[in-house]
Amino acid sequence: MSQTILQYHGVHAHYGAIHALRGVDLTVNQGEIVTLIGANGAGKSTLMMTLFGKPVASAGKIEYRGDDITRTPTHKISRQGLALVPEGRRIFARMTVLENLQMGGCFSDPQHHAADLQRIFGMFPILEQRLQQRAGTLSGGEQQMLAIGRALMSRPQLLLLDEPSLGLAPLYIKQVFRIIRELNERDGMTILLVEQNAHHALNVAHRGYVLQHGEIVLTGSGEELLASEEVRAAYLEGS
């Protein structure tokens, strides 16, 4: 059996009086793409952000490669092989494309930077053409490529993607999911993918979880969830 990289045990999270996660159990094994789907406000981003202590889980435990990281400070987590591509991308708008990529590599060995940049340009040729352009002037799709490239510069063992297809044109959506599959198949990268685009996400994922009002209500392989009546009715109609 493959090694477990990430495990949530009965995790709860609150924002003041709002009970956003209600006892979540979730596992990500080495080499898997795991997706978390759910409606707006279900708690998907919260689940991902509890990894970085934003918010800190109010009960339960989060283990990363066997270590309890429930209360580990954010700056330490980022050095342990976790990289997040946040919802809305959050690139550094005033910096150039190159500077953004360099920021992504600030915790990794500088000896690897040139090779890592080349690998990223191979995946996203547009970034190489726009190296000196201010990141804030890139199109939405290009900014998403940059956000993924920036995360890859840290050589993550676990890549976390929060709604990478949100707001993108169909062509870019296709490209994002192709890259996710490629990173997993070619580089063996382990990926946790939060998505509202259930159809694409379940197609690319080995396993998935459905989150509803802060609780996991369904889990299974990507194929099983795609075929599930419940998932079809709630998340796939019209997609």
* Contact positions vs ligand ATP (CB under 6 A): 15, 18, 20, 38, 40-46, 87, 196
Alpha helices in the chain (DSSP H): 44-49, 74-77, 97-104, 113-123, 125-129, 140-152, 170-187, 198-204, 222-227, 229-231
Of 52 and 124, nearer to ligand ATP (C-beta) is: 52
Measured between alpha carbons, how far apart are the two ends of the chain, in Å? 34
C-alpha 5/C-alpha 34 separation (Å) is 12
CB of 48 to ligand ATP, least distance (A): 8
Q: What's the closest the beta carbon of residue 38 comes to ligand ATP, in angstroms?
A: 5
Whole-angstrom Cα Rg for the chain: 17
153, 127 in Cβ contact below 8 A?
no
DSSP category for residue 96: B
Distance CA 132, CA 97 (A): 6
Q: Residue 41 or residue 125: which is nearer to ligand ATP going by CB?
A: 41
What's the closest the beta carbon of residue 211 comes to ligand ATP, in angstroms?
7
Q: What's the closest the beta carbon of residue 22 comes to ligand ATP, in angstroms?
A: 11
Report the residue number, 213 or 232, with the smaller CB distance to ligand ATP.
Answer: 213
Nearer to ligand ATP, 127 or 173 (CB): 173
